Structures are given as C-alpha cells and as structure tokens.
C-alpha cells in the first residue's frame, strides 16, 4: 500500500513539476513577446516626425523620442528616468501649459517656442491623460505643414503662369491671322505652332514631375543595357545638336555596360541633362560618358562647353520653373522643370546628382546610381 501511495505521490509531483515548468516556459515566452512588442513600439516612436513625451505621475520624464527632443531643444530619453519635466525643457510656455492642465483633461493648443534671439517655432501641443496620473504629450511642428502648403500654392501659381504665357501667345496670333495679309499669316501660324510645342513640352514635364512626386509610384528596376540607353539619348538629340553646330560625343566604360534601374526614369534623367546642355551651349561640344567612381556605384557624366553657371545661380538650378536665362530657355522650348524632374527621379531611384561649373568654360552634371537598387546612395 505504501508503495502505491508513493507511486501516486511521485506521479502527482511529476505532473505538478511539468505543469510548473510549462507555466514558466509560457511566462518566459510571454515576457519575450512583450519585450519584442515594446522594442518594436519604441523603434516606431523613434522614427516618428511628431514628438512624443510620456510624463509620470510625479512629473518625471518616462520617455521622450528624438523628434520631441529636437523640438524642445533637449536630449532624448529612451528609458524611464528621474529627470523632472521642468528640468527636461526650458520652454516656459509648455511647462506652464502642463502645470495648469488637469490630469484628466485632454486639450490641444498651438504654442510658439523660442527665445528673444531665436526664430519662433510654432508647435501644436496635445495633452492627454496617461494611466496612473501621468500625461502623454504629442508635439507637431506646424511649420512643416505650412511649408508644404506654401510650396503647393507656389507651384500652382508658377504652373498657371507658365501655361498662361504660351496659351495667350497662341490665341493672340490666331486672332491676328484673320486680319493680317496673306504673306504674314504663315509667319504667325509658325510662331503659334512653336508656342503650341512649348505648351505640349510643359504639359509633358508637369506629368513627369507629378509621376516622380507620386508616393504611390515606385520605380520598376530591371537589367538594362546602359550603353544602349545612352546611345538612344544621343540619337534622339543628334539632329537638334546638328542644327546648332554642336558635336555630341559618347564614351562608355565596358565595366559599366549593364545596370539594374528603372528604364523610363534613367532615360528621362539622361535625356533632360543632355537636352539642357544642347539648349544652353552655343558652340563646341557635349561629352556623355559612363564610369565607376567607386565600388557599387555607376556614374554618368554630361559635360558641355557652354557659358557655365553663375555661382549665385548654382544653388537654385534644381528648383521648379527656375531658368538661368529665361528668354533663351523659353525660345529654345525649355520649361524650367527638367532639373527638378531629374533630381526627384534620382531620389526615387536611390541615386544622386552633383554639378561642377565654371562661368565661361562650361558645366558638368554627374549622376550616380547604386549597382544594387535596394541600397540607396547617401545624399550628395
């Protein structure tokens, strides 16, 4: 009998041990899962453009992501600390708001941060209750949205102006064509046709720019014959260069014969750069070459013997609708969007562009693209 009881007891103890062990394993698994979720949440908060601050019931800073630290001129707090919120930031307007607000109240208010010698910073602050008497503070820099809206308004205004110019010219010339003598009519129609071409170019460039700006559009990389793409650009613009007495040269590096990239984007980038060189170069030559400046990078250079770019103008050449020589650009059919399209497309392709220019000597634009399209190059 004792042996039976002993066996039963042993069996019960074994079952209990296995149960405890299973509970321990489940608890450890739950803790690891919770730790993974916490880590993922923390990484997500660190990547936010909005500032996030968690304040404990004693007004100590439990967490402050890098965006919050930047907006409040403080250091990030990534682990619970004993730093009091009153010591975390020097911005008295925010400290006063947090002090006055009830711990159960949710409010949103726009504040201006900055000292007497600083440019004021407009920030929208949201305060919300946090369990245990704490507070959640969310900070959003209002200037970002304001800048986006301003750029959008400026773009619409500039686009409307640029489109209005050739449209008005076409309408005026067609009206005159009904009243002028026959020998003048053909000249007016020819000028109207040139303005219609400018209008078509502008429309095409606006569509390309919209495509490059569209967050839903993604380049479709494929294995390309880089030499073939460059040669196609040269062939397309050869006649236009011949009309101005310009020589187009193509020099390719056999080691750069293939590239994984979006064909439409690459062709558009190179064509825009070579076309710009043809438009602004009055005499001489344009050199197009491929080479590899470093491992994992393929570069394309477009160098001209044109008038060069004034140092004061150089920082603005990638802005939309910017033209260094407005009259010459318009007369040649330029839209002022070519370099903006180039820059945007290269960003989407993980590439970059740089320019060297000397007034009276010429300019060289250098496009760099990664051989692996999933590894974007650092911004130039």
Give the pLDDT score at 1.
Answer: 47
How far is the C-alpha of 264 from the C-alpha of 221, rounded, in Å?
A: 10
> What topology does CATH give the domain 47-141?
Beta-Lactamase (3.30.450)
Q: Give the predicted TM-score (pTM) of the model.
A: 0.53
Give the pLDDT score at 257.
Answer: 86
Give the pLDDT score at 212.
Answer: 66
Give the pLDDT score at 188.
Answer: 76
Tell me the CATH number of domain 218-370, given options 1.10.10.10, 3.30.565.10, 3.50.30.30, 3.90.25.10: 3.30.565.10
Residue ranges of domains in the chain? 47-141, 218-370
Give the pLDDT score at 277.
Answer: 93
Blockwise average pLDDT, block size 10, the chain, 380 residues? 54 57 58 59 73 87 86 84 86 83 79 63 84 83 65 61 70 76 76 73 68 73 93 93 93 90 91 91 94 93 92 84 56 67 88 92 94 83
Give the pLDDT score at 267.
Answer: 92
Three-state SS string over the chain comes to CHHHHHHHHHHHHHHHHHHHHHHHHHHHHHHHHHHHHHHHHHHHHHHCCCEEEEECCCCEEEEECHHHHHHCCCCCECCCCCCEHHHHCCCHHHHHHHHHCCCCCCEEEEEEECCCCCCCEEEEEEEEEECCCEEEEEEEEHHHHHHHHHHHHHHHHHHHHHHHHHHHHHHHHHHHHCCCCHHHHHHHHHHHHHHHHHHHHHHHHHHHHHHHHCCCCCCCCEEEEHHHHHHHHHHHHHHHHHHCCCEEEEECCHHHCEEEECHHHHHHHHHHHHHHHHHHCCCCEEEEEEEEEECCEEEEEEEECCCCCCCCCHHHCCCCCCCCCHHHHHHCCCCCCHHHHHHHHHHHCCCEEEEEEECCCEEEEEEEEECCCCCCCCCC
Q: How far is CA 61 from CA 2, 48, 68, 71, in A?
A: 63, 18, 12, 16
How far is the C-alpha of 256 from the C-alpha of 298, rounded, in Å?
A: 7
């Amino acid at each position: 009998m004792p042996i039976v009881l002993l066996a039963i007891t042993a069996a019960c103890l074994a079952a209990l041990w296995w149960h405890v062990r299973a509970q321990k394993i489940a608890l450890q698994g739950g803790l690891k899962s919770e730790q993974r979720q916490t880590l993922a949440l923390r990484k997500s908060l660190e990547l936010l453009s909005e500032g996030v601050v968690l304040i404990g019931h004693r007004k100590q800073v439990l967490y402050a992501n890098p965006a919050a630290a930047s907006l409040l001129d403080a250091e990030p707090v990534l682990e619970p600390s004993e730093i009091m919120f009153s010591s975390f930031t020097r911005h008295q307007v925010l400290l006063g708001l947090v002090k006055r607000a009830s711990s159960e109240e949710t409010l949103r208010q726009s504040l201006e941060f900055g000292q007497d010698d600083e440019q004021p910073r407009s920030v929208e602050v949201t305060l919300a209750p946090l369990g245990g008497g704490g507070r959640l503070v969310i900070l959003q820099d209002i200037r970002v949205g304001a800048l986006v809206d301003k750029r959008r308004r400026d773009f619409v205004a500039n686009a409307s102006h640029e489109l209005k110019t050739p449209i008005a010219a076409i309408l005026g010339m067609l009206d005159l064509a009904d009243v002028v003598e026959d020998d003048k009519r053909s000249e007016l129609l020819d000028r109207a046709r040139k303005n219609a071409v400018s209008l078509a170019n502008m429309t095409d460039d606006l569509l390309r720019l919209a495509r490059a700006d569209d967050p839903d559009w993604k380049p479709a990389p494929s294995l390309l014959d880089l030499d073939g793409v460059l040669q196609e650009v040269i062939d397309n613009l050869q006649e236009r260069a011949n009309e101005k007495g310009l020589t187009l040269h193509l020099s390719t590096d056999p080691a750069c014969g293939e590239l994984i990239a979006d064909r439409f984007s690459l062709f558009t980038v190179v064509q825009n750069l070579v076309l710009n060189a043809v438009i602004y170069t009055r005499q001489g030559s344009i050199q197009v070459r491929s080479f590899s400046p470093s491992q994992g990078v393929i570069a394309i250079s477009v160098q001209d013997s044109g008038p060069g770019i004034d140092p004061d103008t150089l920082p603005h050449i990638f802005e939309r609708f910017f033209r260094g020589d407005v009259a010459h650009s318009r007369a040649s059919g330029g839209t002022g969007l070519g370099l903006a399209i180039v820059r945007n497309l290269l960003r989407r392709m993980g590439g970059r562009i740089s320019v060297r220019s000397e007034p009276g000597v010429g300019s060289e634009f250098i496009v760099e693209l990664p051989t692996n399209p999933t590894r974007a190059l650092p911004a130039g």
